[in-house]
Structure 1
Amino acid sequence: MSENLLLFFGRLHPLLVHLPIGILMLAICLHFLARRPKFASFGLLMPVLWFAGAVSAVLACVAGFLLKLSGGYDQGSVDTHQYLGIGLAISSVLLVVFGNKAIFKKLQTPAVLVVIILLTATGHYGGNLTHGDDYLTQPVYALIGKGPGKKERPPITNVNEALVYQDLVEPVLEQKCWQCHSSKKQKGDLRLDTEEYLLKGGENGEILVAGNADKSDLYKRLVLPLNHDDRMPPKGKPQLTEAEVQLIHWWITAGKGDFKKKVAQVDKDQNIDEIIAEVSQRSGQNTESTQPSEIPDVKVAPANPEHVRQLQNKGVVLMPVAKDSPFLTANLVNAKSFSNADMQLLANLREQILWLDMSGSTISDAGLQPLAGFKNLTRLSLDNTAVTDAGLKHLAPLTNLHYLNLYGTQVSDAGLKSLTACKSLKSLYLWQTQVTPQGVAALQKARGNGLHVNFQSTTDTTGTL
């Protein structure tokens, strides 16, 4: 039997593994119900269910073993999952063989309890292999402001003194890549959690070409179409934002992939300054990278504490843009349930919000209507939302808007016409949209040379204008 055929059967493991889970869970429930006279008839189903559960558990074990042979998993973690799964299969088989024997009747319930424990533990460790060790506990830790297993990173107080890789690039890799490429899991025999392994590369060779991001797999795979087989992260996994992709491009090209250089030691333009500010903001780090020109020269009252509390209860992260400043940044990264109807809560702080990040949220065109009143807004991130051309007309009154990210939205050339009114707009991100080069050219002609457009259509994999 060829290696590829064995791998095919191995990759059926994620499908097969749900069969014993469902069947055994049903058998467990009926076992305890059948102890009551009212449901005693359920006992007739037990031999069939235990048999089906045992067979499916054995098949899942075989497929899991074949998948393990393909490599790419932490040996200790996968062994624990494997042995628990084998124990579950053996326990299920024993229930089939001895379940109806009179001598086993008193031991049947303890045996079922063993199956419950093994089923729970096997599923938990399998989930850890697939989603990461902190998949189950991460939401709990997020509520108390902690991150299990995360590297402790001191706040950046002076962005020019920050290390490009350690302080800016590595947090992005940790959040978006380490789940599949770290000490716990090595897809493609690749680890991205240490400098040594980044330089080593994976099964296809080196992934860093110092000074040339376009020849570096670490960057090239980030900008492939989402449905491409080699796209990283693959479809269905959390994607890097356009700013994060550009940050990695800058580190490899201008920074030569150096792990020790500080921001001040690497050539950068205003666009990179803004990207650094955005990435720092998303990582929850308070920096001094806010450009003075982005802070409107107007006086506003401090935010109403009650309005702040209402937003924080929704999961919105609010931070001052600078010490003792009334202006705020608002980030919806943890506000998973934040909807169009909740936008009025943000509107209560329309004067104070300077930066607004709604990336990946459920906000759509209707939710953008209140933004017309955010006169002091300078930075707006709408990447990977359901926003279309209809929503962009609400942005026309934003005369102080400097930065707009529409990456991964459905906006087209028609929607860009609404942005000609945003006279302060300097940076516009249009990767993976319906916009065409002709639409970008028309916008730049209408706006003059003061607008920098980062552009990549859904049918084009290269280029910025």
Structure 2
Amino acid sequence: MNNQKPQTLPPVRFLASWTVAGFSLLTVAVYGSLYLAPVSLDAQNPFWVVLGRFHPLVLHFPIVLILLVTVLFLLALLKPAFVNPLLLRGLLGASMLFSFLAVLAGYLLSVSEAYSGPLVSNHFYGALLTGTFVSVTAFLYEGQVRSKKAPTPLFFGFLLLTNASLAYTSHVGGSLTHGESYLSEPLKALLPAKTPSKTPEEMLLYGDVLATILETRCANCHNQNKSKGDLLLTSHTALLQAGKSKKKAVIPGDAAGSELLQRVLLPEEDDERMPPDGKPGLTETEISLLHFWVESGASEELRLGQITNDSILAQLEQLMPDILRAQHKIIAEKEAFEAAQRELAELASETGIEIIPDDLANGKYFGMKMKFPPASFGSEELQQFSGYFPYFSRVSLASSDVSDDALFFIGKMSQLRRLVLQKTAITGEGLPYLSDIPALEELNLSFTPLEDGHLLHLLSFPNLKKVYLFGTPISEAVIEALRQHRPEMEIILEEGPFY
């Protein structure tokens, strides 16, 4: 008769085993609570800031430990001795602990330093998922060791999920720190260099050369959405039409009579010159090519291989590197704009505002405006768009919660042309933040509590042309002073547009 008692774990190992199991369940519960009901903290507390900044220091530990566990199990396929239960339990327990600390520190960092946006959200949820997978993996392995069973497919499944989630979360974290193309950018060097799809002989003088020149020099003012003087320069057909002056931009065979050639040859100080306002005009080579094309009949089908003029061919050869660079830049800008549009649409849906392409910016910039009824939108929400500030040319925050402090962020919108702050709490104290925006031409401050002294900051705005001040407490004396010192700036005592 066998009276031997069943084997039990030594007290220390028994306690350690239950500690690992209990801690894994606790961490999963915390991750779930952070996902379902994030904890509200005092964002200004320096204690949270200090703890949060440990995040980049701690997060490397679980990454290394999880990968080491995975490598050991892979090596065990060749030599089973690599599966050392004591070592693996220690590694999984440590990875679970450091994952927990990294998640908590990351959460404190995002709260205390106001990190926001889709990348931050994706990184946070990825970290919660990774931490959960680590804890479940450790729990499963602990149970298998206690029952003296070999690891099951369920364990290996969660180990695989842990690595996949870890890879995704690490990638998003790297994108937050270094930009979304941080990993992919070096790989571009391995791709074939961009080369023209046509040989030089096959290239069209208008479609491939002159159209690129007009796109980069003229299309900003003469496009489908903004046709200055009713003149379009975005297609061959449009070039042959007359604008407001009743003169055709291009008259085939008559360069001297073509309005386009006449305008680009005017002196820089002439108001009729194209392009105006001191913008760089066409070079002598570009004008020469345009003149040759018009005199040759302004054909859309003329190929470089059909040109026999040695002087023109030499000019084309000299200009070709610039043309190719301009073409690649146009394509890259279009791709970047489309990518930004997708990202902004997601961010706009989260903040309750509307982002649309600016119909006066030739497909290069966006407009931002409040929906009706307006959602709560102040400085904190505005900061979420900081990575896209250079893409905005038109912003309307009418009836929003923005105050003068928000003008600091708006001042970073370097391409901003029209700004509507109607029915906000702007007193004018933050107006100096906007004075360095070179393109700002229109400012709507109607129905705001502006103060007389602060409004005088508008005197330092370089290109401001219209200001709406209806319903403000500004005195007649200040308005008159502005009109005397800036007669070119139109002060309008009407409500003005909402967008």
Question: TM class by shorter-chain length?
Answer: 0.3 to 0.5
The structure that has the greater radius of gyration is 2
TM-score, structure 1 as length reference: 0.36
TM-score, structure 2 as length reference: 0.34
